Structure 1
Amino acid sequence: MAAAPADAGPQKPKRKVDEGPKLAREETFALVQSWTQEHKAEIEEQGGWQCEKKLIGTFRSLPATRSSAVPDVSAAIAQSLGELLGPKPAKEPVAKVPKPTADAKGKATEAPVPDMFKEGFLAHLHKPGENPQIDQRFKEEHLRATGGKVVTRFPPEPSGSLHIGHCKAIAINFGYAQYHRGICYLRFDDTNPAAEEGAHFDAILSTIRWLGYEPYQITYSSDHFQRLYELAQQLIKKGKAYTCSCTPEQVKFNRGGEERPTRIACEHRDKPPQLCLDEFEGMRLGKYKKGEVTLRMKQDLENPNPQMWDLMAYRIVDEPHHRTGSDWRIYPTYDFTHCLCDSFENISHSLCTTEFIAARESYEWLCDELEIYKPRQSEYGRLSLQGTITSKRKINKLVDLGHVMSWSDPRLYTVDALRRRGVPPGAILDFVNEIGVTSAISTISLARFEQAIRAYLEVNTPRLMMVLEPVRLTLTNVPDDYVVMCEKPLHPKNPALGKNTVPFAKHVYIDRSDFRSEDSPDYFRLAPGKSVGLLNAPHTVKCTSFKTDASTGQVVEILCKLENSGPFVKSKAYIQWVADHEPSGSPVRISETRVFHALFKSDNPAGAPNFLDEVKPNSLEVFQSALIETGFLDVAQTELAKAKADAEKRTSAVSQGQHDRSSAGAPEAEASQLYGYESIRFQGMRTAYFAVDYDSDLVLDASKPSKIILNRIVSLKADSGKNS
């Protein structure tokens, strides 16, 4: 019998169907033995016994053995490999990957996840002291001041609400310092008094603390106004800065830009330093009006980098400052202030987004010209979510035109909006860690963000029965006073969350979506003549009839029989329910349940000619009659008390030391920054995850009325209709 040709070996040809007679077992064994002997070296190279399964597919595709029975081929290969390679090695037990569980505190415990500080961009940053200096003395002074620790900063401008992209920046700057046992400053870049509002200072600190971080010290760029002014004078004396009276149009023309690669030196560029010093002092004393004179750095007009084309260092802003009042009429620009404040605070790692890559050269130029310690700037890609808007101007338009309620509308992706929606801070940090940190701009689908929220809530959120659109179900074969108390876990996989006892009575409510007036073979919930299970109830129920509203035709009551006789039969489907039993305080009635959907039609509304054309008309659904099981009030009280205790403990531990180090007038750390009604989160079983809105008037006493407003955090499963 001829052996299979050698060239038919490792390349698996396309298989053809052959329904001819089966090859005899003896012939199969002979063919396999001959072929394996010929390809012994190749088999050993590919792992020997490890390619056993692959060889079965190979022989089933060869013309000579295609008609062999699969068991014969398998047995022949095992025998031939045994003769060639010796006995098959014992199979090593495969370690099982642990499934997510919960510890006693309800926190997720699972297989190791990627750590953005151990891999990728952040894992390859320089060590403190490795950033180059023009004088070794600066390095030595820096390391003495910091003790060789990592020192970072988060430097927001207090002119608006923070958004999801800022959460990544906070996690990187505070998290990197925390990971390396260093420190992170919160520095307010308060150099534009015309745009700053006092409320934003408190809101920014609140956001940072809500995300789980505590600043080592709260500082302000304005702390350094006098020192910055003196350094500007020093730069003028060196001939590296000059006062300029050009209009913005003249400056733009001289800089050339992309239209004209050759720059034209400003006519004021070579003014004597003393004249520039006098005019700079005149700017400070109010001798000039806004825009008449600026101070510009004398950089390198031949450099291809626009950030080296004589950037502005100071401008006139004749507005009172929130901290310095009317002491100053001139204010330093970001390009002048940022690097110098980093130097003053001995920042070891100046971490920012990639739009500042070009600014790194001017950052280093200024530090070197002034002969001071030079931090190292490193840039990572910013985070953007598809289908969202974060522009302050555009969000203001959405609010003004009534498309959203406010800056904290849960359809937005400001931090205030995410918090109000009920998104846990831990879920945001998990999401940032999951996507990692690279130098590429991250534009992530909303579906991926929502899945991260879902995964976080899955493990540690209590589960309650809830019906969004209730319809009454009456058990016709039990007495009016029938009631059975049913014990149910608040989480089937997290016993630490405890249990709840709910009444099962003659009248219960189910969700309208769980009933059909006409049955179908592929439908397993309630319909006439059909039985269904009620979660945690002792028996199934069978629909015998239903009643409708004469004017609307809508089902208003479902009549059922409690199947409490005979052997228990497990139902194909189980649905949630809430009893109508006033003595037990059931149901808990919800004043308003808000279900939020994507605000925009497209993935990139910001890129549309008119982003307002992308607004969806029906992105908010409101349900007025939702019901929840009686355990809700206990869960609310427990979650709120737990959040308050954690907040007070954290605040007590940090406020005193932070207050001693921080600048005068810095916002205080307060427990109220860390929790609110949004801390009350639960899963409405088979419905969605919800949180209590801050517009609620929650009375944690079942005998007294409450105004309860719920916001949907996220659905239980990804919505196939979402943009992704």
Structure 2
Amino acid sequence: MSAEETSRPTNFIRNIVIDDLDSGKHSTVVTRFPPEPNGHLHIGHAKSICLNFGLAAEFGGGTHLRFDDTNPLKESEDFARAILADVSWLGFEWKELRHASDYFEQLYDYAVHLIRNGKAYVEELSAEQIREYRGTLTEPGRDSPWRDRPAEESLDLFDRMRAGEFEDGRYVLRARIDMSSPNINLRDPVIYRIRNAPHHRTGDAWHIYPMYDWAHGISDAIEGITHSLCTLEFEDHRPLYDWFLDNIPAPCHPQQIEFARGNLDYTVMSKRRLRQLVEEGHVNGWDDPRMPTLSGLRRRGYTPESIRAFWNEMGVSKSESIIDMGVLENALRNDLNVRAPRSMAVLDPVKVVLTNYPEGEEEWLEAPVHPQDESMGTRQVALSRKIWIERADFMEDPPRKYFRLKPGGEVRLRHAFIIRCDDVIKDADGTVRELHCTFDPESRSGLPGASRKVKGTIHWVSAAHGVRAEVRQYDRLFSVPNPLGDKSRDFLEFLNPDSLEVIPDAVVEPEVARGEPGDFYQFERTGYFVHDSEDSRPGSPVLNRAVTLRDTWARLRKAGG
């Protein structure tokens, strides 16, 4: 192993790969990522993607993207295209694009091989009866009355199942292994079931479809996969994976290795429950920015670099855990902090009139695009007699140590000068309509008075130049860390009613309004925002808050809130 290899972060899977290469067991590394095209990928899948693609690339191998398309009732080409887009967006390239359906004929032939060798039979028990005969974790199963069906009879029925002679559920094909095995997965598992439904790739060619456990290992073997990396729920399935490959003339025998899934708090990572959220209208589609799907995270403003950095930091182990959402958010902050251009936006505007600023005049101030990166240059900030500030940056009767604007008080306008509040104009209901202020011309940058200190600095946008924008502020999708933890309650009861706040009349700087979908910014003092990929248009911006400047949830926990 080279010095470069030893300096990289390691884990038990990487060590296995290194040992296999050093011993000559394998001359290359071939991994696979096998999603089922029945929904969008989520942040947990990204862990597997980064592991499979990253590991193979590190050692000069390749990764197959293989769709596990064995259930025509739930799968579609739309989901397949979304998966391809997600993997590409994360920054990975597959060596080959494969489908389990590419191997339907071979999988069928291997099933015939089992039947002929007395290791599979056609079953007539119903699904409920099969469960009953299977036993429990503490009680052995019982042999099916069809377990000793003659091979020729099973071959005939299996062929007719394929031809579409029978209705769904009439028969299944089971492997003949051991009904008394302590591993319940080895108690004659079903390997084929009847599905009289068209497949999105093979059409009406098939009326029987393989189960995942049957298709998975054999597809690995056909493709010459060296290391088949799975999450921990498949650890008890590994003896079945090995049994199938040991009992057919497989071209090779890949090694299955299990690792812990990636779980986050305040969300759910079950594709079935994510589908429920979408289909029942609790969210606005698979790419809703509150969803943990990669399409949702992308739309919210997450970058592929931040997600890769997050999973690299979390590492790979066999210990299940739930990760604090704040860790993922910090990965995004760290990424955007070094490359997001700065701008100013006012989300809840109140007007300020600079009474001593000449009527009808304007000027353009120079401000850095990024305060820590001079190579990004400067930007022009428009200033006029009327400006917008945040309503929260003014208080008529403030508490002690309030350092923003108040009657008779002074603050500095970011990149501009110091202003003093002289008068407060209110509507009939007492709401502040506008503030009349004077500015200190000597407090401009570069003038003698620029060194005069005030304790507060606030952001603002020129009323004459600012553009109205819709801003969407997203929060946790659920109100509790583990929505599935209380089995006595429906997880939907824990949906956070405040997970989305729409601000229809925010004001942004002109260059922000000219942005394209996917462009992101740090709005000074506010957070990181991105143009919505679906709804934002130049001149009519819709901006999603990707993440706050600080972890507000951590502060709330510390304060006991």
The answer to whether TM tops 0.5 is: yes
The reply on whether 1:433 has 2:312 as its aligned counterpart is: yes
- Given candidates 508, 525, 542, the residue that maps to 1:709 is 542
Matched residue, 2:187: 309
Deviation at 1:271, TM superposition (A): 2.3
TM-score, structure 2 length as denominator? Answer: 0.92
Report the CA distance between 1:599 and its aligned residue: 2.3
The aligned counterpart of 1:501 is 380
Q: Tell me what 1:578 maps to.
A: 461
Name 2:102's counterpart in structure 1: 223
Correspondence for 1:624 among 475, 491, 504: 504
Q: Deviation of residue 342 (structure 1)? A: 0.1
1:593 counterpart SS class: strand
Q: Which amino acid aligns with 1:623?
A: I
Structure 1 residue corresponding to 2:437, chosen from 529, 553, 560? 560
Match of 2:241 among 352, 363, 374: 363
CA contact 1:155–1:189 (8 Å) conserved in 2: yes
| Distance in 2 between residues matched to 1:607 and 1:116, nearest whole Å | 39
Aligned residues: 544
RMSD: 2.3
- Using the alignment, how far apart are the partners of 1:300 and 1:131 within structure 2? 37
Contact 1:695 1:709 in 2 (8 A): no
Aligned match for 2:11, one of 104, 113, 120 = 120
Report the Cα distance in structure 2 between the residues aligned to 1:630 and 1:519, rounded to whole angstroms. Answer: 32
Match of 1:261 among 122, 133, 139: 139
Pick closer, same or farther for the CA change 1:116–1:151 going to 2, 3 Å: farther
Contact 1:346–1:375 (CA<8 Å) still a contact in 2? Answer: yes
Taking the TM superposition and a 5 Å limit, the aligned residue runs for 1:472-621 are 472-537=351-416, 539-550=417-428, 552-565=429-442, 567-568=449-450, 569-581=452-464, 586-590=465-469, 592-608=470-486, 609-621=489-501
Task: Identify the match of residue 128 of structure 2 among 215, 227, 249.
Answer: 249
CA distance in 2, matches of 1:313, 1:723: 49
Tell me if the contact between 2:173 and 2:193 (Cα under 8 Å) persists in the aligned partners.
yes
Contact 1:116–1:436, Cα closer than 8 Å, also in 2: no
Alignment of 1:207-356 (within 5 A): 207-258=86-137, 261-356=139-234
Alpha-carbon distance between aligned partners in 2 of 1:399 and 1:378, rounded to the nearest angstrom = 33
Residue type of the partner of 2:430?
G
**SS at structure 1 position matched to 2:449:** coil
What is the distance in 2 between the residues matched to 1:348 and 1:708?
49
Shift of residue 722, structure 1, vs aligned partner: 6.0
Quickly say closer, same or farther: Cα 1:186–1:272, change in 2 above 3 A: same
User: How big is the shift at 1:211?
Assistant: 0.6
How far apart are residue 400 of structure 1 and its match? 5.0
Larger radius of gyration: 1
How far apart are the structure 1 equivalents of 2:171 and 2:229?
A: 33
| TM-score, normalised by the number of residues in structure 1 | 0.72
- Report the Cα distance in structure 2 between the residues aligned to 1:497 and 1:442, rounded to whole angstroms: 40
Where is the strand percentage greater, Structure 1 or Structure 2?
2
Structure 2 distance, partners of 1:314, 1:408, is 34
Q: d(CA) in 1 for partners of 2:280 and 2:133?
A: 41
Q: How many angstroms does 1:127 deviate by? A: 4.5
Residue matched to 1:157: 36
Residues 328, 723 of structure 1: CA spacing in aligned structure 2 closer, same or farther, 3 A cutoff? Answer: farther
Q: Which amino acid aligns with 2:545?
A: R
Partner of 2:445: none
Query: CA offset at residue 164 of structure 1?
Result: 1.1
- Structure 1 residue runs of 5 or longer lacking an equivalent are 1-113, 133-138, 641-676, 700-705
Question: What residue number does 1:73 align with?
Answer: none
Counterpart CA distance in 1 for 2:472 and 2:143 is: 60
Q: Which runs of no fewer than 5 residues in structure 2 stay unpaired?
A: 443-447
Q: Which amino acid aligns with 2:305?
A: G
How far residue 396 of structure 1 moved from its aligned partner, in angstroms, is 4.3
Q: Answer whether contact 1:510 1:578 (CA < 8 A) is retained.
A: yes
Cα separation, partners in 2 of 1:698 and 1:130, compared to 1, 3 Å = closer
